[in-house]
């Protein structure tokens, strides 16, 4: 088990799915964990209860990640309640698929504002703190579809590719302040996002996975815990796939 005792973390989109698994895993490693969410308030409360039962601090805040001011407010609140911030996991994301000739402006804007601007909002809220304290971990959840593109997901793939450029740039800008910035690129993972996908699209994706099964949220959480820990001190600017070989 990775040791994250006395570290303070924010996981965006921690009410369900991959974010909830990451929040729990970081807490199991000893970190205090704040999550935010938009809709699943009961689920967010359950995650907080599970984390607190582990003997560490936890809070849930309803905040749309695409709102720049709310990101700053959340970071301020976490610093006040926990006494600092050490780890940022940008995870909150949505998809709203459609082929490019049918994609509406609001589809494009919603996905880019949540998946890409949302990550910028939280990074910009912690960057000054991380720089001044000369430590910090930024972990951005992207997708293998940001690396290769995906039919029907121009908005989503563009947002996820953008996250990779953001991750590498932040690694360069904050590296000399002992801050690492890495991206985790999941393949198909069993969550609501995947359950709501079209059956044929899902079947095709599963057929690509060389290990022959979908990933679980915990598969992503394990890597995030590792990247948050001292074991990953010399890893930055990386994009690491967790996809059962789906990309190869």
Question: Would you tell me which residues interact with ligand NDP (CB under 6 A)?
Answer: 13-19, 36-40, 64-66, 91-94, 114, 141, 143, 186, 188-189, 191-194
Nearer to ligand NDP, 185 or 232 (CB): 185
Other C-beta atoms within 10 Å of 224: how many? Answer: 29
Other C-beta atoms within 10 Å of 153: how many? Answer: 23
**Spatial separation of the C-alpha atoms in residues 70 and 56, rounded to whole Å:** 24
Nearest C-alpha neighbor of 49 from the set 38, 35, 63: 35
Tokens of 175: 């590296």
Least distance in angstroms from the C-beta of 185 to ligand NDP: 7
Q: Across the chain, which distance is largest between two alpha carbons, in Å?
A: 51
Is-contact 97 143, C-beta < 8 A?
no
Nearer to ligand NDP, 13 or 136 (CB): 13
**Spatial separation of the C-alpha atoms in residues 105 and 193, rounded to whole Å:** 21
Nearer to ligand NDP, 94 or 225 (CB): 94
- Residue 156 annotated in active site: yes
Least distance in angstroms from the C-beta of 243 to ligand NDP: 8
Least distance in angstroms from the C-beta of 39 to ligand NDP: 4
CA 197 centroid distance within chain: 20
Nearer to ligand NDP, 2 or 163 (CB): 163
Side by side, the strands of the sheet bearing 58-62 are 58-62, 32-37, 8-11, 87-90, 136-141, 179-186, 239-242
Least distance in angstroms from the C-beta of 3 to ligand NDP: 25
Active site residues: 156
């Amino acid at each position: 088990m990775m040791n994250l005792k006395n570290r303070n973390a924010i996981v965006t989109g921690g009410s369900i799915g991959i974010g909830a698994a990451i929040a729990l895993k970081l807490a199991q490693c000893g970190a205090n964990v704040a999550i935010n969410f938009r809709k699943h308030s009961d689920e967010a409360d359950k995650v907080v209860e599970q984390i607190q039962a582990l003997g560490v601090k936890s809070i849930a805040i309803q905040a749309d990640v695409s709102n720049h001011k709310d990101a700053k407010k959340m970071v301020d609140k976490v610093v006040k309640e926990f006494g600092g911030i050490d780890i940022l996991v940008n995870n909150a994301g949505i998809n709203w698929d459609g082929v490019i000739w049918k994609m509406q402006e609001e589809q494009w804007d919603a996905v880019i504002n949540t998946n890409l601007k949302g990550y910028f909002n939280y990074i910009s809220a912690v960057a000054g703190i991380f720089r001044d304290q000369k430590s910090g971990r930024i972990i951005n959840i992207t997708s293998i579809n940001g690396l290769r593109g995906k039919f029907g997901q121009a908005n989503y793939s563009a947002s996820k590719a953008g996250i990779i450029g953001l991750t590498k740039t932040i690694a360069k800008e904050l590296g000399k302040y002992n801050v690492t910035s890495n991206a985790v690129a999941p393949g198909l993972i069993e969550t609501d996002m995947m359950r709501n996908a079209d059956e044929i699209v899902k079947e095709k994706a599963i057929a690509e996975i060389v290990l022959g099964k979908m990933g679980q949220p915990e598969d992503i959480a394990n890597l995030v815990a590792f990247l948050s820990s001292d074991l990953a001190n010399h890893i930055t600017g990386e994009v690491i796939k967790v996809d059962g070989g789906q990309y190869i």
